[in-house]
A and B are shown apart, each in its own frame.
Chain A
Amino acid sequence: MNQVASGLVTSQWNIATLGLLAASDGAINWHTLFFFIFALTACGFALAVLVSSHVVRMAFFLIVSLSAASGVMFTSGAHFVGTMQLLIYVGGTVVLLIFGVMLTAQEAFITLKTKAGDWVLGILVGGTLLALLVQVAFLDPTWHSTDYQQRLAAQHEAVTEELRQELLAGRDRSELSPETLQKLADLESEIASGFPENVGRIGLALVGVRADTTDESVGLAGYLLPFEIVSVHLVVVLVGAAYLARAKRRRTDLIE
């Protein structure tokens, strides 16, 4: 019994560490903290990309901004997508961009100044759009905050309490109901690492099986076909890009 109780306490500690469960009033919510760190980094460096006129710096800022965006994705529970963001974007796309920068980086083009008029216009329109979007984002009061952590904590508390009652009733651990234990294990795994099973589900969905829902209306609406299409698409793009970028004689007659 003591072992069981201590195990429960251990999980309690983990929850507190990760900040996924509600902390007591005034204490720092780690989840919020990490979100803000990543969000501010992403936004700040995006802004830096915009204002910088040096193309090499822009590329660097973009890397940072996108990496931070992947952090934001992690905090929303999308671990797999966040990983992909890091791998593909930061590891692939941006490197590609940097190649482009290096290939075209002649002195004259490193810094191309934008005209002031364009800046004014861009800021005006962009600011309007931003204002509108942010306003819409905060339009719905229920979107401001979430009680997810409280709900999760309450569920965990209830299950733990149930177990504790059973243990107090003098039962042996082997007599505890397996359903309850399973439920507790699921909850703890969710608390500990978000939704790790999503990776498996994404994999299944890509081969046409939906494991995340039992909703009949969804049917077998997996992502096999889009997956195939996108695969072919990638091949075509690969060939097309190779064709477009192949070496050829420079057409000097078009130079003004």
Chain B
Amino acid sequence: MGFLSEPVGLSHYLAVGAFMFVMGAVCMATKRNTLGILMGVELILNGANINFLAFASPYFREDNLGLDGHMLALFVIVLAAAEAAVALAIALNFYNNHATIDVDRASELRG
């Protein structure tokens, strides 16, 4: 348990952010459920937010982003909420029109 006595650094936070990001991205790429894709988006935004906050934290670096990082994270959260509302509306519309939430059934964009 030696690592528990060592202080954590910026890298750990970035790794967590990266992991959540990749989970979200793969989630988007693999889920057939429209809502699953939305959840992937949420994960991606969270991963990005963790990165922002890590760089903004005064614990790790002297030249941190400071307040700017926090503000950006806040805006990301707000926009994520907005995006969720719209995306959910779209998903419901999609459900109305196609009687399914399987995105593979929607292929109007095929070239």
Consider the complex of A and B and state whether they touch directly, i.e. have CB atoms less than 8 Å apart. yes
Within 8 A of B (CB), among A24-38: 25-29, 31-33, 35-36
- If A39-B12, A205-B71, A226-B75 touch, whether A66 touches B59 (CB-CB below 8 Å) is no
CB closest residue in chain A, given B1: A28
Q: Which residues of B contact A29 (CB under 8 A)?
A: 4-7
Partner of B18, one of A59, A77, A137, A145: A137
Q: Mark B24-57, 1 if CB is under 8 A from A, else 0.
A: 1111011111111011101100100110011011
- Chain B binding site: helix, strand, loop or mixed by DSSP? helix
Q: Within the complex, what minimum Cβ distance (angstroms) separates A16 from chain B?
A: 14
| In the complex, A163 has a CB within 8 A of chain B | no
How many of chain A's residues touch chain B, expressed as a range? 35 or more
Partner of A109, one of B30, B86, B101: B101
Q: Are A251 and B39 in contact (CB under 8 A)?
A: no
Q: Are B8 and A146 in contact (CB under 8 A)?
A: yes
Q: Within the complex, what minimum Cβ distance (angstroms) separates B31 from chain A?
A: 7
A-B contact count (CB 8 A): 282
Q: Are A104 and B92 in contact (CB under 8 A)?
A: yes
Partner of A39, one of B16, B22, B46, B96: B16
CB closest residue in chain B, given A119: B30
Q: Are A32 and B35 in contact (CB under 8 A)?
A: no
CB closest residue in chain B, given A152: B59
Q: Within the complex, what minimum Cβ distance (angstroms) separates A89 from chain B?
A: 7
| In the complex, A140 has a CB within 8 A of chain B | yes
Q: Within the complex, what minimum Cβ distance (angstroms) separates A28 from chain B?
A: 5
- If A129-B22, A148-B60, A198-B67 touch, whether A234 touches B30 (CB-CB below 8 Å) is no
Q: Mark B56-91, 1 if CB is under 8 A from A, else 0.
A: 111111000011011101110111111011101111
Q: Mark A220-256, 1 if CB is under 8 A from B, else 0.
A: 0001001000100110011011111100101110111
Q: Are B7 and A148 in contact (CB under 8 A)?
A: yes
Q: Are A43 and B20 in contact (CB under 8 A)?
A: yes
CB closest residue in chain B, given A74: B53
Q: Mark A146-187, 1 if CB is under 8 A from B, else 0.
A: 111100000000000000000000000000000000000000
Taken together as a complex, chains A and B put the C-alpha atoms of A58 and B96 apart, in Å, by 22
Within 8 A of B (CB), among A102-146: 103-104, 108-109, 112-114, 118-119, 121-123, 125-127, 129-130, 133-134, 136-138, 140, 143-146
Q: Within the complex, what minimum Cβ distance (angstroms) separates B44 from chain A?
A: 10
- If A66-B46, A93-B84 touch, whether A122 touches B30 (CB-CB below 8 Å) is yes
Binding site for B on A (CB under 8 A): 22-23, 25-29, 31-33, 35-36, 39, 42-43, 46-47, 49-50, 55, 58-59, 62, 65-66, 69, 72-73, 76-78, 80-81, 84-85, 88-89, 92-94, 96-97, 99-101, 103-104, 108-109, 112-114, 118-119, 121-123, 125-127, 129-130, 133-134, 136-138, 140, 143-149, 195, 198, 201-202, 205-206, 210, 212-213, 223, 226, 230, 233-234, 237-238, 240-245, 248, 250-252, 254-256
Could you list 4 further interchain pairs (A-B, Cβ under 8 angstroms) beyond the known A69-B50, A230-B78? Answer: A29-B7, A50-B23, A97-B39, A254-B98
Interface pairs A-B: 9 shortest CB-CB: A133-B18, A137-B14, A126-B26, A244-B89, A245-B89, A46-B23, A143-B10, A237-B82, A112-B32
